[in-house]
Amino acid sequence: MELLKWTRGLNIGVAVIDEQHQYITECINRLHKAIEDENRGAIDASFDEIIDYTVTHFGFEENLQAQAGYEFCTAHRRAHMLFVKRVGVFKQQFDASKDEESIEIGQEVLQMLRRWIINHIQQEEDYSDFVLMRMNERTVGKPKGWMSRLFN
Ligand SMILES: [Fe+2]
Ligand SMILES: [Fe+2]
């Protein structure tokens, strides 16, 4: 059974970001499956995918916030960096672990990610409201604006 189920309540209203968040939850579900199967190679692969994709997602969000002129982008960026650091420590532990420990570390990572993704999404409501507001302002009468370049 899937660990995380995507519901409409998780959408923040910026479609491109919602798709990325949904993809991250799918990666977390893959990690869950790999742990259930006790498949170290699959755990490793999904762990790497989560790190790579999340870093890309963060970059995308930071760029979007900068372009929209979001006031608290520095604090948001700091939260992203802390998460990357935290996950990196787990990854090092996982890579250095013996097979019998690796499943346990995988489970710890999974629990952390499960809480994190929900918090991450809930904390994005402030910037998404701002981005949506700017999107409406700038697209009125300006269909070739910066937002339409991002979203078309
Ligand atoms: Fe996000
Ligand atoms: Fe974020």
Report the distance separating Cα 15 and Cα 11, nearest Å.
8
Mean pLDDT confidence for 106-129: 94
Question: Is 8 contained in some domain?
Answer: no
- Report how many domains make up the chain: 1
Cα 100 to ligand 2 centre (Å): 34
pLDDT of residue 27: 97
Residue 117's domain spans which residues? 14-151
The CATH number of the domain holding residue 55 is 1.20.120.50
Question: Taking a C-beta distance cutoff of 8 angstroms, is the pair 46, 34 a contact?
Answer: yes
Question: Is 1 contained in some domain?
Answer: no
Q: Read off the tokens for 150.
A: 């991002």
Beta-carbon contacts of 103 under 8 Å, excluding residues fewer than 6 positions away, are 35, 38, 40, 43
Question: Is 123 contained in some domain?
Answer: yes
Mean pLDDT confidence for 104-133: 93
Where does the pLDDT of residue 149 fall: very low under 50, low under 70, confident under 90, or very high at 90 and above? Answer: low
Cα 37 to ligand 2 centre (Å): 31
Cα 7 to ligand 1 centre (Å): 16
Burial of 82 (0-12, 13-18, 19+ CB in 10 A): exposed
Ligand positioned closest to the Cα atom of 83: 2
| DSSP-assigned letters across all residues of 135-147 | HHHHHTT-TTSHH
3-state secondary structure of 89: helix
Report the distance separating Cα 134 and Cα 10, nearest Å.
21
Residue 84 has pLDDT above 80, yes or no: yes
Beta-carbon contacts of 16 under 8 Å, excluding residues fewer than 6 positions away, are 60, 150, 151
| Residue-wise pLDDT tens digits, 1-10 | 789 999 999 9
Question: Is 6 contained in some domain?
Answer: no
Cα 27 to ligand 1 centre (Å): 14
| Residue-wise pLDDT tens digits, 14-68 | 999 999 999 999 999 999 999 999 999 999 999 999 999 999 999 999 999 999 9
Residue 107 has pLDDT above 80, yes or no: yes
Question: Is 2 contained in some domain?
Answer: no
Cα 93 to ligand 1 centre (Å): 25
